[in-house]
Each structure stands twice: as structure tokens, then as C-alpha cells.
Amino acid sequence: MVSACGSSNKEGTEGEACYANGTCNAGLTCLSNTCVDADGGDGDGEGSGGDANLPSVDFDACFECGDAACPAERDACDAANGCSELLECTIGCGEDITCKSGCSVAGLTPQELADAGSAVASYMTCAVVACLDECTPQLDTGSGGSSSGGADPGSGGADDGSGGKASGGNSTGGRSSGGSSSGGAPNLDGVLIFDGVGVGVGSEEFEIDGGFYILEDSVTDGELIAEPEYHTDLDPLDSVAEPSTLELSDYPCVSGSVAQVVDAEGGLCETNTDACEWEAYWGGGIALTLDSTDESWDADAVGVTGFSFIVSGSTSGAPLRFVVEDTDGEQFCVDGVRTGSSVSIDFSDLEHECWQPTSQNLDPSKIRSIAWQFVPNASEPFPIGEFCVDSLSVLD
């Protein structure tokens, strides 16, 4: 999974041009090719990133409950420089994605930020679930925000659109389970083929027989790369074994951290994006093959024109992209995907290499897989508390 990067040292900063892929630095939004602070905040993200109008959290109660329920995760957070500040900001933002995207800690190295993000994700996966009442902001009318997939679509990748393809597993975790061509889900268009249970998807009506698997840029062709600790690390909820798979999972869910894009030496490249290793740091997510033999799935033959789905989770504002990959490895995608509500995407909505679009169109008769990809940037890592594919339907 890839995209393009900018070239100017000022690109991505407030008041300046957006990066070539339509993104900006943390806390800023690309509008009319200009980076603006859409919320009117200072956008510095130094350990807070929050909105003063957000509902408050009783952190004493939250951490008292969380520390008791998750002592190992708390110890890991205490040991990670910057984790406590990042954790408080992330929890305090609730479901406000724009707020979460501003949560960061100044003065840390990329590796320290990645470690802090990973520790935050682990703590939230355990504690926020165990202590939902204590750790959830009490929303008032007009406060908070909706669970959108991030205002800054698609960063990370390579200028030539090569590399970073959907490696890290193939159709693991079962076949034809957890879905049928009957029933339905609230606010979901089309015909339901997956209801959130299991890690396989099967439909005789639509000739689908596939399985979910995990994407992460720390894995290539099913094997860990030489220095995976600098890269995206996403794990199923029931295992931390590497490389990550969903073979033993009951649901297509992951938690972990999407790594910040850095240069070849592991240093910051936010102010010189030409030095960023976009191809190596393309992010990660969850993918689904549609044919168990890894051959093409012919959507035209079964009258399918697109997909409708619901994905959910605590993503800390990580931009989310929906991708359809064909059997030639070409990727067609849509950026800015929302979490927490139904999303319908017709094949005609997809752009070839949407981070730097071309005029090529998808051939629906030769689809290999679909994916939900977290797209990184050069400003910060993104802790992923728990991200799940809750339902999937086909549009016909």
C-alpha cells in the first residue's frame, strides 16, 4: 500500500501547500491545497492536542480502574518515554478523531514515539474496554465529534507507486465463516456477506470464498523484515506472535501502532519529505481475499458493483483508506474512510493509486482482494487501540 510525498521544506505546514498526496502535518487539514487548522487550535500537539471544549474524563478514576485491570500494560507504559502524556491526551479526546490526531509528545525520537504509541495502544486495548464507564468522556450536546476516518487522506508511499504492496499474509484464518447472503445490518446497504464473526467470508450467491489477514509494513512476503521494531506493528487481539495472523482469531480485529515515516537512518524527515522512506513505511491494516485459490474474483459475473461496510475502533486519527487490488497488483482506492458508521463505495468511486491518481480504471472481473489500510505520515505514529471490520455487504 503506497502513496506519494511532497518536496518543499515548507509543504505540510500551516498556511503552506499540502504535500503532493493531499496531506498536512499533524493537526492540520488540507483544504484547496492549503494546510489549515480546521479547528482553530494551535496544532502543536505537544502532549495535548486536545480541544478545550471537549468533555472531561476523571483520569484518577480511569487510571485507578485501568491500572488494576491491566498492570502489565501500565508498567509497559510507564517504561515508555512519553506514553503517559500521550495516553492521557488520547483518552481525553474520546471519539473526536481530529482531537486525537493532534495528540503527540515533543522532543522524542521516532523510535521513542513508536514505542510510546505501541504502549498506549496496548493499554487502551485492555483498560478502556475493562473500564468503559470510567475512561469514556461524558459527552454533552454539541461536543466531541464523529468517528470519521481522518481529515488528511493518504500519506505514505513512493513517488512511482511501487513497493509496499499487500504483504504480510494470505487468506489465513478460515474460510466461509461468519457471514451469509441473508439478513442485514443497521444502516448497511446491499446484501450482507459478513456479520463481524469469524475471519472467513463466504457467499455461494456471489461466489466469494476468502479470508481476512493482517497487513503491516514490518512484514514482506510473510516474513519479518530485518528491523521490524521501526515499522508498523499490528497484532490480533489474541496473540502477539510474529508475523501476525488471524488464524486463531474469532474476529477480524487488530491493535498496535502505525509507525511514523522516517528517513533511511531512522531520523525525522518531516521537514524534508524527499528523504522520507515512503515506500518502506506504507502502514498496515486488514485485508480480505475474495477467492480461496488466490485467483481473481469476477464481480461483473455476479452483478456486484461495489461494497458497503462498517469498521470501528480507536484509531487516534490515523487516515484510513479503502483499497481494491486487482490480480496485476494494481491498487484502486478511496481515502478518508469513516469509522463507526456505514460506508458504501461503488467501483466507479475508486481511483487508480488515489494518492496520485491516474486515468486507469478498475476491471471488476479481475479483483484479488480488498483492504482497509492505515496510511502513515512523517509527523507522528498512530496508536491503534482496537480496529475491527464489523460487517461487509456487496452492492448489486
What the block records as the C-alpha cell of 166 is: 499487500
Q: What is the band of 41 on the pLDDT scale with cuts at 50, 70, 90?
A: very low
Residue in the structure block whose three cell numbers are 483498560: 127
The rounded distance, in Å, linking the Cα atoms of 98 and 12 is 16
Mean pLDDT of 339-346: 92
End-to-end alpha-carbon separation of the chain, Å? 27
Q: Where are the domains of the chain?
A: 29-135, 191-395
What does the pLDDT look like over 307-322, one tens digit per residue? 999 999 888 889 999 9
The rounded distance, in Å, linking the Cα atoms of 234 and 134 is 26
At residue 281, the pLDDT reads 92
Are residues 78 and 139 in contact, defined by beta-carbon separation less than 8 angstroms?
no
Assess whether pLDDT exceeds 60 at residue 6: no
What does the pLDDT look like over 241-299, one tens digit per residue? 888 999 889 999 999 999 999 998 888 898 888 899 999 999 999 999 998 776 799 99
| Closest CA relative to residue 49, chosen from 28, 24, 80, 22 | 28
Query: Quick check: helix, strand or coil at residue 123?
Result: helix
Contacts of 201 (CB under 8 A, 6+ apart): 176, 177, 178, 179, 193, 194, 208, 209, 210, 211, 212, 288, 290, 392
The amino acid occupying position 192 is: L
Assess whether pLDDT exceeds 60 at residue 63: yes
Burial zone of 106 (CB within 10 Å; 0-12 exposed, 13-18 middle, 19+ buried) = exposed
Q: Which residues pair with 387 in a beta bridge?
A: 254, 313
What does the pLDDT look like over 138-165, one tens digit per residue? 433 332 222 223 323 333 333 333 233 3
At residue 235, the pLDDT reads 92
* DSSP 8-class letter at 390: E
Mean pLDDT of 33-43: 48
The rounded distance, in Å, linking the Cα atoms of 52 and 92 is 10
Residue in the structure block whose three cell numbers are 486536545: 50
The rounded distance, in Å, linking the Cα atoms of 277 and 275 is 6
The rounded distance, in Å, linking the Cα atoms of 119 and 43 is 23
At residue 220, the pLDDT reads 84
Residue in the structure block whose three cell numbers are 478502556: 128
At residue 140, the pLDDT reads 38
Assess whether pLDDT exceeds 80 at residue 133: no
At residue 110, the pLDDT reads 66
Mean pLDDT of 24-39: 56
The rounded distance, in Å, linking the Cα atoms of 237 and 343 is 24
The rounded distance, in Å, linking the Cα atoms of 343 and 98 is 19
At residue 90, the pLDDT reads 77
% of the chain residues with pLDDT over 90: 38
- Judge if the upstream peptide bond of residue 228 is cis by omega within 30 degrees of 0: no
Helix ranges (H only) for 287-375 are none
What the block records as the C-alpha cell of 66 is: 485501568
Assess whether pLDDT exceeds 60 at residue 16: yes
What does the pLDDT look like over 171-197, one tens digit per residue? 333 333 333 333 334 446 799 999 999
Assess whether pLDDT exceeds 90 at residue 229: no
